[in-house]
Structures are given as C-alpha cells and as structure tokens.
Structure 1
Amino acid sequence: MSVPPPVARPASPQPLQFVRPDGSVTEDGARHGIDVELARTCYRDMVLARRLDHEALALQRQGELSLWLMAWGQEAAQVGSAQALRQTDMVFPSYREHAVALHRGVRPSELLAQWRGCTHGGWDVAERRFHLYSLVLGTQTLHATGYAAGARLAGSDELVVAYFGDGASSQGDVNEALNWSAAASLPLLFLCQNNQWAISTPAALQMRTSVHQRAAGFGIASFVVDGNDVLAVHAVTAAAAELVRAGKGPALVEAVTYRRAGHSSSDDPTRYRSDDEVADWTARDPIDRVDRILRASGVPADFFDDVQAEAEQLALRVREECRAIPDPDLDDVFASTYAASRLDVERELAERHRMLRSLEEVPA
C-alpha cells in the first residue's frame, strides 16, 4: 500500500503594513489611503495608554499595586482594533488590554483596583461592554464563545471580541474556542496580539505555524497584520468585523507586535532577550511611527504638546485614584464565596466579629 506524501505547509503571508517604521507609506497604505484624523485620534489614545502603563508600573514598584502587567509596545494592536469596533460590541480581554479598557471608558481607579488586591474586577461589565480581566490563561476565549452563542440565540446584532496572546494560543481553551465558534458559525472576532514571547518562551519554540494559519485550519477567516502599524490594524480589524457581522462565521486577526517590558512586574526579560532584539523592535515603536507620519502630514506641534500635557494630567489622576481606592471589607468574602448561605460560613463570620469586639475591649 502506497503512502500519500504529506501535505506541504503553506507559506505565511507577510503582515499587512500601511506605514513603515520611518513614517513612509507603503503601496498598500497608498492604495487604502491615510486617514490623518484617525491617526491623530489613535496617537492620542496610544500616548495616554502608555502613560497609564508606566505610571502603574511605578506605583507597583512603590508598593501601591501587588502586580502589574504592561502593554508597552502593544498600543497600536490594541488602539487600532478598539477604534474599529462599535461601542455596543462585547469585548473579552485577557489581562493587559489597558488601552482597550481606556477606550471603553474604564477609569484608572476601576482598572487598578484588581491589581491593588481590592476587588475581583472593578467596573460594570454591562455598562462598559468590556468584561473583567481574565488572569487564567485563555479562559476568556471560551467565555466569549459562550456569550456569542447566547447573543445569536437572542437575535442580537452585537459582535463579540476576544483578545488573547500568542502564549495563550497553546492552551486547550483557545483551540476549543476556535473550533467551537467555527463549527457553530458564531459572531466572534478573535484578536491575537503576538508579542513574540510567552513569558520566557519565544514564539519560534511555541509553535511550528503561525496563529492565523492554525486558525484557518479550524475554518476561520484569518488575517495577519503589522501590529505596530495602528492604521493597518484598524483597517484589517474593520474588514474582519464586517465579515463576522455579515454572518460569515468567526474571524481572527493576528497582530504581530512586541512586548517591550517583562511579562509582568515580577519578570526580568533581560534574562532571556538580547539587547539587539530589543533595539530592533524599539526602532519599530508604534507611537513613534504615527508621530512621524503626522508631522509629515503637517500636523502642528501644538497638537503633540497638548497630548503630552493630557498624558501628564492622566498620570496625576492615576496616582491620586490608585491611592484613594478603599480597602475591601473582609465581611464581603463571607458574603460572596458561596451563592447560598452556609451554616459553617455564618459561624466563621460570627467568630470574626467576636474577635474584632475583643480587640476593641483591650485597653490602649
């Protein structure tokens, strides 16, 4: 019996790019056209998101936050995609979509409360159309899949969006979500920020094929874009969202970007990344790229000064709101651990109150 030859692995297309790192426009960018007003809006949002990011890391170093996961370097992937969505679309983030959170109106105090250890979430999910951060890797993709199934049953026209990273794509949850959403043709858009590193494991060791190729294997319409080119990210996300809204099933956008900081505030990336690699990606910085094309388009210096002034005001607000977050009441733990009242929990709560009263009776 003859054995058929193996199927050749298809070559991955080059990520779509509109603006090069030096600010010049590519042929694809020229054909699509450069929307200067959109670029101005995205530039502001990226600068503010980065300022929040750096301020939060400083607060963590000062002991004000227990942990922080930076999105430094990934601003274009987040802002470009968020700007292409409708405010009524439901977003399921992972744990570093800070730029998307700001775009959805989440206040600094709401965003930082979880990292300060004062709440499990921090904001009204239904109001912001932005789900709580998911710290368990990849679970948000299954949450989004279930939500998308419910939205379709309810006859809603909303798009459901799930953000995740390249590292999460190695989790079973993500692959189950891809397969389930494709098989059921759900209104779900997956946005993968491939930042090159799953903590200290490089993408080349994580997977043999790219994320968008693997998604295509599930029957999902898949796109790959330069994740540091905010205008290209916006265009690709808009096109993918249009397909999903038209009832063509789920879609996936892989934004090729780079995590400039460590995986978290507890990580030291110098132990596994070279200076040359960091310098190479620093030269592709998403904010610098938009800065260059805006200045080349004649945007006055006052605009950039105003954005920087707004960023400094945001930094002040982040500091003030972080330190003003109230400490949680331990009684809430007893009230929210189980859905229904339990005798053993009630006894523990009563014991806590007896202990507190005894401490009050101790002479000063």
Structure 2
Amino acid sequence: MFDRPSGGDAVVLVSVDFGDSDYDESLHELRHLAGTAGLNISATLEGKRQAPDPKHFIGSGKADELKRLMAVHDSKVAAFNHDLSPSQQRNLEKLLEARVVDRTGLILDIFAQRAQSHEGKLQVELAQLEHLSTRLVRGWTHLERQKGGIGVRGGPGETQLELDRRMLRVRVKQLREKLDKLKQQRGMQRRARKRSNLMTVSLVGYTNAGKSTLFNRLTHSGVYAADQLFATLDTTSRKMHLPEGYPVVLSDTVGFIKHLPTTLIEAFGATLEEAAQADLLLHVVDVASPNRDAQVEQVNIVLNEIGAARVPQILVLNQIDRMAMAPAIDRDEYGNIRTVRVSAKDGTGIEDLRQALLEHQQYLKKLSTEERAYV
C-alpha cells in the first residue's frame, strides 16, 4: 500500500459529474479539502459519466489520461472527489504507480492532522482503521506502529494478511473499549450538569461556518479558529453567563460536511452526543454562502442520524458583515425565536443572541425536570 499523502505533495484532483445538482459545490469543497490537507493542487481532471466504471471508476480512457497528466505535472498523488471501492483504488494505484486517495480518505487524513485531545485521536484512529479494514490485501506493517502497540504474533501457518486482519481487530476492540469509558465519563458529567439545572447549548453547523469564532466571542475563549475546513475537531465546553447572570454550558462541536464518512459519524458518536443531549442547538450558518440552504439541510440530516433532531434549535445567521445585513431576531407565529443574525467576527448582534439564550433558559426553568427531558 502506498503511504498517505503528506503536506507539500503535488496532487491532481479528479472529479466526475454524474448529473448531480451540487457538482460545482462538491468540486469546490474538494479543492478546499486538498488545501486543508496541505497538498499542492497541480491540475484538475474532470469528466462526465452515467455511472462509475467498475474497474477504474473513471473508465480506462480517463485513467490513461490521468496517468499522462500526473506525469506532466510530476505528481504522485491523485485525490478523487468520490468514494472508491477497495478494488477500484487498488487498480488505479497499480495503473498510475502513484498514491490514490478518495474523498473519505482525504477527510480522514485531515482529521488525523487536526485531532488534539486524547479522545479525538482515539476517535480518528478508530475511523481510519474501520476504513482500512476493507482495504487489507497484503502486508500492512504500519499497523505494528500504531500508538500503544498491538503485541500479537502470528501462529503457525498464519499468512501476513490473516495476521494483519487479526491485529486490526484487536486494535479496533481496544479503541472501542477506551472510547466507551470516555463516553461513560462524559455521561456522568452531563448528568451532573442536569442536576445543577445548568442549561447546555451546543454549537453545530457546516464546517467553516464560523462556529469556533462565535464560541470565542460568547465565552471569551481562545479556541483555534481559521478559514479552513475542520479547523477544530475536539469538543470544547465553557461556562458563560447570560445578561441576568445565569450560567450556561456552551459546547463547540466538529463541523459537518456533505458525504461525511459514516466511519467518522460512528467514531465521533461520543463527542456528537453533546449535541444530542443538549437543551438547545445553535445552528450556525454562513449566510454569505450561496449554498447555505443545502448546507443547512445537510447538517439537519446528520443531526437526525445522531439522534439530535428533536433538540430545539435556533438558526444563527453568521457573517452578516459580508452581506451588509443588519442584526435582527426573527420569530415564528408563536413568538418563538427561530433566527438571529450576527457577525461573530466583529460582535454585531451578539447581544441579541445572548437574549435569545436567556429566553430559552427562562422557558426551561418553568418546566419540571420530567417535562424538560422531553423538550
């Protein structure tokens, strides 16, 4: 197996239009993903097909064209804007004599670079190994170098592939056990907050919508925030005070993206539970994005997958400074706050958002403990 791409590598991007309406947006995200991973984009190969080619995904003719293009640009990495089957990836690597990474692999690489906490690193490693499990075809000696070591020796007559699969299963089991313990600890912390009647609020939204910038603005924290996809991965919680002095626990969560790998959703289940168990979700939206409606829909799809669809949410329309929009609070026909317009960058509308949080907190205080559990 070829090594994963590293920072500074020249990459040729490959994207096939199958007639999807979001093709242009998806290709734009691929370029952003490649840049976030530290790759240097040397060229982009595009094409149109009715369906993927079973052997090379893009067809033999396009595969030969890709090989010539990579030779011209002296590139040893091809990044596909699609998920490849294990056999397609192997066939392409054999033909191109280069590294091939699909969209899921690229996102996993970024997550591996960005994870900082112990739990985050465990979650990323689990997702990587789950992705790798379908691609074991020969010796994967790098598994022996996984943090913590595996310490498994092959028995008489055991092939390298069988040994590698067994090593992988052992490591996956170890990771799941460690993450289960962390999940239990996180659950105990949540129950303690519930007993103290602290309102819990989670920031959710499409990646690069400005969640971490808003988190810093509300809590006066120094969480890393940058114009990058998945700038922060690890859930961070801080206590903040509302105008009336009532404390609130605010959590910043990992950003979502279209076609977020299932392995990542599963691996980050414990972290994403912060959103599912919250009293309120602040759904941060980049109001300046031409694809904001589709991004809102995608976030809601993932929220439904993790069991957070029932949690009340307020849409926070961020980056109004880029649209020359005035701050405002919009309510539904029942008087409930549905959207708040803010600029996390310059602080415009933040007091309106604090007021929205205060209103929800006052609403929760009127409920009994049993009623609150069903909100």
**Interval of TM-score (by shorter of Structure 1 and Structure 2):** under 0.3
User: Structure 1 length as normaliser, TM-score?
Assistant: 0.28
Which has more strand, going by share of residues?
2
Q: Whose relative contact order is higher, 1 or 2, with alpha carbons under 8 Å and at least 6 apart? A: 1
Which has more helix, going by share of residues?
1
